Amino acid sequence: MGDCRHFGCIGGYMEKKNTPIYPTEKMTAWNIVLVILTVLMNALVAYVLIYVSNYSALSKKVFIWMNVGVLAALLVMDLLVYFSIRTMHKKVYAVTAILLCACLIAGSYGTYLTFRVQNNIDDMTSAEQTQDITASLVIYSGSSGIAITKTEDLDGKKVGIAKGSQTSVIAEKKLQAEGVNVEYQEYSGYTAAYRGLVTGEVQCAVLPITWQSLVEEDTSLSTYLEQCSSIEDFSDSVTSTNQTGADKDLTKEPFTILLTGENEGLADTIMVLSVNPVSMKVTMTSIARDSYVPISCYGNSSSKINDAHAVSESCMVDTVEQLLGITIDYTVEFNFASVIQVVDAVGGVDVDISVGFDAQCWDIVKDELEVYHLDPGNDVHLDGTRALGFARERYAFEDGDFARQRHQQEIIAQVLTKIMASKDPNMILQLMDAAGSNIATNFTRDQLVNFISYAMKKSNRYYGDSLSGVFNIVHSRITGSDSSVYNANYGMNLYIYKLSTQSINHTVEAINRNMDLNSSIGTSVPVDWSAGSEYTPPDISE
């Protein structure tokens, strides 16, 4: 046969310009590795492209060019692998392996990002929401001579719970697991359960972990606070089912949103938004959480609107619909953690602080209350923790709860403006992480994508490449007055916030005008007026 080194025998060794190739067994092993890595790379890229196609409505042009570029690069990489296997050059193998590893790393990272985004969106829009609830077993030392110092002492006693609340669910589960037999007394909300405790109807009340803040805001109950204490705090997970959102085309049909800021079953923030996609006008109306209104799930008996939220989201939706005479199309619920993380993700907010005060904030890592002093000033920069404390404060300001509502709307509007004006992918990822486990909504993914795409198109047409100017947000609140209702059973006046019928009507009129695509343009100022007369703006303007 002769020396085959100079003639290219199969399975032997070949020298071509001093470049050796591998023996057959090494070549075969390399080929198998390259093929496996190539198949894996193609699968990862295909998955990312298929997933990203769900969001192609955000920018079809960018999506098309991205697909063309990625597929072209994928084709070149596949051809390079094929060429490596055919030529069997050592240098070509090395270059191909390096490029293939780089593509695999990029594909793996892209897959990780898609999983990360998808999981967060699924968490936000899932029909079933699971959240950790922390409750306290609270006792009152002034009601009886019975010594209750631990959970076991509740055996045979009466325990007050808020009807339908999530804290009642985990309390019943806990006491049953520990073999503690109690008689449950249902109340219409946490404040009613607390009153039952201090009047001696029950020996213990199941309240949210923030029960002290809740009691402090009710002047008729705060005097009993020093004689109350928690014998045990406990947590558990509770799964609830969201109401299905409306089947609307958000790019054509006006819609309403009930926005609630939730903390352990309590709604610190209650806002009704109406959005007109044609005019891009948004009305944002705050409702005080102590508003005394008929509660739908209590047979329309009146109580604080917060009691509706303590029962369920659907009870809150029905109550607001009944109060305003409108239909709530969608809901968005967020908690303390989301406020802190979202504000931090956008780089903080700048607010005007008229008076200095000690802000009660929340440490989401330690899950406990912390206090920071905020000094007065203009354009004071706040991180997420301090922004939460600023948004929750009302006692430091002359207009009390109105100031709190105003600050909440200010922070929400500023965060939305920063989000819409940003093109930072890292910010978007941080926002998605913050929203995933802390915000729940019954919008569908397609509805959100289509609406954002629609807003981007309007922005590009009228406002350049920034979304910050596309929405016209009108702030308002439903006004009322501090009042009280005497309850003979408790022998005390109960603090309530009585809403003004006129203010409710003004709010409803503003929402209906914004929702009506066929309404004519007009003015609410009468023709018969005097330049010397003092003008008082309606509530919606305030």
* Residue 468 contacts residue 279 (beta carbons within 8 Å): no
Token look-up 């089912």 returns 241
Q: pLDDT tens digits for 350-359?
A: 999 888 888 8
502 CB burial (10 A radius; 0-12, 13-18, 19+)? exposed
- pLDDT band at 6, cuts 50/70/90? very low
Q: For residue 412, what are the contacts with CB-CB under 8 A and spacing of at least 6? A: 259, 271, 284
What does the block give as tokens for 39? 């198949």
Instruction: Return the minimum-mean-pLDDT range out of 26-30, 230-234, 412-416.
Output: 26-30
Instruction: Return the minimum-mean-pLDDT range out of 76-85, 268-277, 519-528.
Output: 519-528
The whole-angstrom separation of Cα 475 and Cα 520 is: 22
Of 248 and 290, the one with more pLDDT: 248
Average pLDDT on 12-16 reads 43
Helix (H, G, I), strand (E, B) or coil at 44: helix
* Residue 276 contacts residue 357 (beta carbons within 8 Å): no
| pLDDT (0 to 100) of residue 11 | 42
What does the block give as tokens for 304? 């604080």
What does the block give as tokens for 515? 């929702």
Highest mean pLDDT out of 1-10, 270-279, 335-344? 270-279
What does the block give as tokens for 14? 């070949």
In the predicted model, is pLDDT for residue 512 greater than 90?
yes
- pLDDT band at 18, cuts 50/70/90? very low
* Residue 233 contacts residue 508 (beta carbons within 8 Å): no
| pLDDT (0 to 100) of residue 247 | 92
Q: What percent of the chain has pLDDT over 70?
A: 83
In the predicted model, is pLDDT for residue 257 greater than 60?
yes
The whole-angstrom separation of Cα 345 and Cα 340 is: 9
- pLDDT band at 162, cuts 50/70/90? confident
What does the block give as tokens for 71? 């597929």
Q: pLDDT tens digits for 397-417?
A: 877 777 888 888 888 888 888
In the predicted model, is pLDDT for residue 265 greater than 90?
no
Q: What are phi and psi of 335, to 5 degrees?
A: -120, 180
Average pLDDT on 131-142 reads 85
- pLDDT band at 230, cuts 50/70/90? very high
* Residue 186 contacts residue 165 (beta carbons within 8 Å): no
In the predicted model, is pLDDT for residue 467 greater than 70?
no
In the predicted model, is pLDDT for residue 526 greater than 50?
no
* Residue 90 contacts residue 21 (beta carbons within 8 Å): yes
In 199-272, which residue ranges form alpha helices assigned H by DSSP? 211-216
Token look-up 């997420």 returns 384
Which residues, listed in sequence order, are joined to residue 281 by a DSSP beta bridge?
276, 472
The whole-angstrom separation of Cα 491 and Cα 243 is: 39
* Residue 337 contacts residue 366 (beta carbons within 8 Å): no
Instruction: Return the minimum-mean-pLDDT range out of 92-96, 126-130, 277-281.
Output: 126-130
Task: Output the average pLDDT for the chain.
Answer: 80
Whose CA is closest to 214, among 523, 19, 407, 495?
A: 495
Q: Any idea what the Cα angle at residue 532 is, between residues 530 and 534, rounded to 5°?
A: 95
Of 317 and 8, the one with more pLDDT: 317
Average pLDDT on 376-385 reads 90
- pLDDT band at 13, cuts 50/70/90? very low
The bridge status of strand 228-241 relative to strand 128-140 is: antiparallel
The whole-angstrom separation of Cα 465 and Cα 457 is: 9
- pLDDT band at 506, cuts 50/70/90? very high
- pLDDT band at 468, cuts 50/70/90? low
* Residue 344 contacts residue 384 (beta carbons within 8 Å): yes
In the predicted model, is pLDDT for residue 14 greater than 60?
no
| pLDDT (0 to 100) of residue 394 | 79
Average pLDDT on 302-308 reads 83
- pLDDT band at 336, cuts 50/70/90? confident
| pLDDT (0 to 100) of residue 144 | 57
Highest mean pLDDT out of 160-169, 293-302, 315-324, 469-478? 315-324
The whole-angstrom separation of Cα 91 and Cα 476 is: 70
The whole-angstrom separation of Cα 429 and Cα 345 is: 9
The whole-angstrom separation of Cα 169 and Cα 236 is: 9
CA dihedral 365, 371, 373, 374 (to 10 degrees): 60
For 118-166, list the strands marked E by DSSP.
128-140, 158-162
The whole-angstrom separation of Cα 170 and Cα 264 is: 12
| pLDDT (0 to 100) of residue 524 | 44
Average pLDDT on 364-383 reads 83
Write the single-letter amino acid at 518.
N
Q: What is the reported pTM? A: 0.73
Average pLDDT on 154-169 reads 88
Write the single-letter amino acid at 334.
F
